[in-house]
Amino acid sequence: MVNYPNGKKAAVRHEPTSFADRGMKLEKDINRTNDYYRSIDRAIIHKKPTPVTIVKVDYPDRTAAKITEAYFKLPSTTDYNGIYRGKYIDFEAKECAVNTSFPLKSIHAHQIEHLSSVVRHGAIAFLIIRFTGLDITYLADAEEAIAYINSCGRRSIPYEWFTEHAYEIPYNYVRPVDYLSVVDRVYFGEGS
């Protein structure tokens, strides 16, 4: 690192990240993993479409309706759900740029409520949190994470909580976020 003559370090320049691109890498990795799981018929799990409120649509012709005004809507559920080994699976995935804790503001209250509900109904439900600076991805059981969130009174979950209570998700080229290997272990009691 070359310093400026005044002794201050040169500011690290990041490429500006568009809103739409933030957190996209984890999403792409999970989508690729889900595609792989489906291709070998292991699980049928999809990302839900991004919820938008459509205000205006032009119809230049019937086959190519063009939406010209729409707005992003707060999601009322999590992004991913489906079926695995006969069980309903539901999870939310988030990237976290901070190395020391996961800020709870990145998960909406609706999504926490949704996770609580599906757990009560017998779902396998969890969070997938990637600490991008550490390049490590965790699976945290929804029930356990929600219990912590409700009891802690904090606005974030410290990184240590993940090392103690969550499970590292292994990386694999064809299954970049191989979360079902963790699900097998944690929810079906398989492996070590």
The one among 11, 15, 41, 151 contacting its own copies by CB under 8 A:
41
The nearer residue to its own copies, 42 or 165, going by C-beta atoms, is: 42
Does position 17 interact with its own copies (CB under 8 A)? The reply is no
Sequence-ordered list of residues with C-beta below 8 angstroms from that of 192, at least 6 positions apart, any chain:
185
The one among 3, 4, 15, 19 contacting its own copies by CB under 8 A:
19
Sequence-ordered list of residues with C-beta below 8 angstroms from that of 169, at least 6 positions apart, any chain:
128, 137, 138, 139, 177, 178, 179, 181, 182
The nearer residue to its own copies, 4 or 71, going by C-beta atoms, is: 71
- Least distance in Å: CB of 146 to its own copies? 15
Burial of 114 (0-12, 13-18, 19+ CB in 10 A): buried
144's tokens: 């356990």
- Least distance in Å: CB of 164 to its own copies? 29
The one among 1, 71, 105, 192 contacting its own copies by CB under 8 A:
71
Is residue 30 classed as helix, strand or coil in its secondary structure?
helix
The one among 11, 40, 64, 74 contacting its own copies by CB under 8 A:
64
The one among 24, 25, 54, 152 contacting its own copies by CB under 8 A:
54
CB 54 within 8 A of CB 91: no
Stretch that binds its own copies, among 24-32, 71-79, 100-108, 148-156 (CB under 8 A): 71-79
The nearer residue to its own copies, 55 or 134, going by C-beta atoms, is: 55
DSSP string, 155-173: SEEEHHHHHHHSEEPPP-S
What residues from 106 to 125 belong to the interface with its own copies (CB under 8 A)?
114, 117-118, 120-123
CA distance 65 to 109: 34
CB 118 within 8 A of CB 85: no
Q: List residues near its own copies by CB under 8 A.
A: 18-20, 38, 41, 43-44, 46, 48-52, 54, 57, 59, 62, 64-73, 76-77, 81-88, 90, 114, 117-118, 120-123
